[in-house]
Amino acid sequence: MNEWIQRRRSCDSSYIQKPFNSATMDGEFQRDRARVIHSSAFRRMQSKTQVLGIGESDFYRTRLTHSLEVAQIGSGICEALRQRYESNVFYQTWLPSMSLIEVICLCHDMGHPPFGHGGEVALNHRMDSFGGFEGNGQTLRILAKLGEYSPEHGLDLTRRTLLGVVKYPCLYSDVRNFSQQSGLHLQHNIDAWTPPKTIMDDDADVLNWILSAFDEQDQKLFTCIEKRADKHHRSIHKSFDTSIMDIADDIAYGVHDLEDALAMGLLTERQWQNEIVNELSRYDDCQINDEMGFYSQKLFSSSDKDRKHAISRLVAYLVRHIEIEERPQFQHPLLRLKATMAAPACDVLELFKSFILRNVIKRPEVQVLEYKGQQMILRLFDVLSENPRRLLPDDVLQQYEEADNKPRILCDYIAQMTDVHATKLYHKLFTPNMGSVFDRI
C-alpha cells in the first residue's frame, strides 16, 4: 500500500520526505489535509457561489461551508460503514481513514470558478479549442500543478488522495461531443457549451501518474468511456474513496441546500406536498413516509432549530442506507469496492436533488445572477486575451509568456477568482467611475 502515500515529488532524487505528526500512513493523509486547509484555493471558496449568490445573507452556504459539510458527512459515512462491516477485514483495510476522506471531501470543489455553473460554461466556451475547462478537472489541476506548496507539483498530495478527487477519469478531447448539440451558434445563450465531466487535456500526465499504480487491465477498464450520439461521452467508473465522497456531496446538495431554500422562503408547503410528499407515498417501504407529519411540520416551522432537527434526521436516514458492493471485474481493492446507497433511500435523494434543481437553481431569480456572472467571465476573458501585457499581474504575465498553451494561463487566472474579485475587476475595467490605482489586480 506504500505506493498510495507516494507523492509525485518523491521521484526527484533531491526530495527528502519527513514524517508529519507520525510515521504512519494516516500521517501522510493528515499532511494532505493540512496543505489543503492552508491553501489559498481553499480559502477562496468562502467567496464562491454554492447555489444562492454571495452576499445574499450570512446564513446561506458558500462553496467553503458546503465542502465542510461534505467532509463531515463523508467521515460519518466511513464510520457507519466501519461499524456495519466490522467483521470484514478486507473492507476495514481499504476503508479510507478519517483524515483521508476529509481531505478528499474538503477539496472536491476547489476548482469551481466564480459564479458557479455559469462561470464554468463561460470558461469552457472560450477554452474548447485549447483543451476545455471543467470544474472537477480544475480541482485536480490546482492540487497537482497550481497550488503553492511546490514549484511544479502544486500541493503535492499523495496518490490516493488525488485518486479520490478524480470523479471522471477521462480527458476532455476523448469525451467532448458537441457535434449533435443545437444552440452552439447562439450569441447570448451559451448553455450548449456546458462541458463534459472530465480532466483537461493539459493534465493527462497527472492522470497517468495517478493510475500507474494499477495494472494495465485495471487502468484500461477504469478509464473506459460510454459513447453517446446526442451528448457528451462519459466515464463509467469511480474509485472506492471517490464513491464515498460523491454520495456525501449528493447528500449535502440534496438536503442541506434544501435547508437554505426553505430558510429563504423559496419553497412553499404546496410545492413540498405536491412534489415530495405525494411522490414519496408511492414507496411502501420508505421510513420517511411514516414520519412525514414530523418532517412537514419541522421543515416549514419558523424556528431554525426545528428545521435543523428535520434536516439532521434526513441526513441520518440516508447515511444508514449506504453499503459497499464489489465489482469483480477489477483486481485492485480501490477499484473493486464501491459505496452505494440502497433503495428507497437513493430514490429519496434523487427526488430531493431534482426538487432543488427545478424549484431553486432553475428559477429565474437565480438564473439572472448566474447569467450576469457568466457574461462578466466572457468579457474578462476576451479583454485579458487581447491585452495580456497591459492587464495581467506580473507573475501571471510571466507564466503566460512562457506557456505553450497561453489561453490555459488566462483560464487558470480567472478560474481562481472569487465572485467578489471577478466583480471588482469587471467594474474596474468597464465602469468609468470605479477603480483606483491602489486597487490590486
Mean pLDDT, residues 183-195: 89
User: What's the pLDDT score for residue 143?
Assistant: 98
User: Which candidate, 61, 72, 145, places its Cα nearest to that of 104?
Assistant: 72
What's the distance, CA 225 to chain centroid?
20
- For residues 43 and 184, the answer to whether their CB atoms sit within 8 Å is no
Mean pLDDT, residues 158-170: 97
Q: Is the pLDDT at 241 greater than 60, yes or no?
A: yes
199 bridge partner residues: 171
Q: Is the pLDDT at 111 greater than 90, yes or no?
A: yes
User: What's the pLDDT score for residue 19?
Assistant: 66
Q: Is the pLDDT at 26 greater than 90, yes or no?
A: no
> What angle do helix axes 63-84 and 240-251 make, rounded to 10 degrees?
120
Banded pLDDT at 232 (limits 50, 70, 90): very high
- pLDDT tens digits, one per residue of 316-345: 999 999 999 999 999 999 999 999 999 999
- For residues 134 and 195, the answer to whether their CB atoms sit within 8 Å is yes
Q: Is the pLDDT at 292 greater than 70, yes or no?
A: yes
Banded pLDDT at 1 (limits 50, 70, 90): low
Listed in sequence order, the residues at least 6 apart from 327 whose beta carbon sits closer than 8 Å to its beta carbon are 237, 335, 336, 337, 338
Q: Is the pLDDT at 206 greater than 60, yes or no?
A: yes
- For residues 189 and 127, the answer to whether their CB atoms sit within 8 Å is no
Radius of gyration of the chain (CA): 22
Q: Return the HEC string of 361-393.
A: HCCHHHHHHHHHHHHHHHHHHHHHHHCHHHHCC
User: Which candidate, 78, 89, 133, 80, places its Cα nearest to that of 111?
Assistant: 133
The grid coordinates of residue 42 equal 481553499
User: What's the pLDDT score for residue 25?
Assistant: 78
Mean pLDDT, residues 31-53: 86
Considering only residues 436 and 42, tell me which one the structure prediction assigns the higher pLDDT: 42
- For residues 366 and 376, the answer to whether their CB atoms sit within 8 Å is no
Furthest C-alpha separation in the chain: 68
Mean pLDDT, residues 413-439: 85
User: What's the pLDDT score for residue 54?
Assistant: 41
| Cis upstream peptide for 151 (omega within 30°) | no
Long-range contacts of 360-369 (CB under 8 A, 24+ apart): 360/51, 360/257, 360/261, 360/266, 360/267, 361/51, 363/266, 366/51, 366/52, 366/53, 369/49, 369/53, 369/115
> How many of the other CB atoms lie within 10 Å of CB of 242?
22
Q: For 41-45, 103-107, 240-244, 299-303, which range has the lowest pLDDT when averaged over its residues?
A: 299-303
User: What's the pLDDT score for residue 8?
Assistant: 87
d(CA 146, CA 399): 11
User: What's the pLDDT score for residue 436?
Assistant: 61
User: What's the pLDDT score for residue 218?
Assistant: 98
Mean pLDDT, residues 411-440: 85
User: What's the pLDDT score for residue 359?
Assistant: 87
What Cα–Cα distance (Å) separates residue 157 from each residue in 9, 36, 44, 65? 9, 9, 19, 22
Banded pLDDT at 13 (limits 50, 70, 90): low
The DSSP bridge pattern shows strands 322-326 and 234-235 to be unpaired
pTM of the model as a whole:
0.93
User: What's the pLDDT score for residue 59?
Assistant: 42
- For residues 129 and 178, the answer to whether their CB atoms sit within 8 Å is no
User: What's the pLDDT score for residue 308?
Assistant: 93
Listed in sequence order, the residues at least 6 apart from 246 whose beta carbon sits closer than 8 Å to its beta carbon are 167, 238
User: What's the pLDDT score for residue 55?
Assistant: 44
Q: For 1-15, 193-207, 233-247, 297-311, which range has the lowest pLDDT when averaged over its residues?
A: 1-15
154 bridge partner residues: 150
- pLDDT tens digits, one per residue of 350-371: 999 999 989 888 888 888 888 9
Cell 467594474 appears where?
427
Cell 411540520 appears where?
297
CB-based burial label for 16 (10 Å; 0-12, 13-18, 19+): exposed
Q: Which amino acid would we find at residue 209?
A: W
- For residues 120 and 113, the answer to whether their CB atoms sit within 8 Å is yes
Mean pLDDT, residues 384-412: 97
User: What's the pLDDT score for residue 12?
Assistant: 63
Long-range contacts of 286-291 (CB under 8 A, 24+ apart): 286/344, 286/347, 286/348, 287/317, 288/314, 288/317, 288/348
Give the whole-number percent of the chain exceeding pLDDT 90.
75
The DSSP annotation for 343-361 comes to TTHHHHHHHHHHHHIIIII
User: What's the pLDDT score for residue 243?
Assistant: 98
Q: Is the pLDDT at 58 greater than 70, yes or no?
A: no
What's the distance, CA 16 to chain centroid?
32
The DSSP annotation for 55-72 comes to TS-SSS-BHHHHHHHHHH
Mean pLDDT, residues 60-71: 88
Average pLDDT, the chain: 91
d(CA 381, CA 303): 45
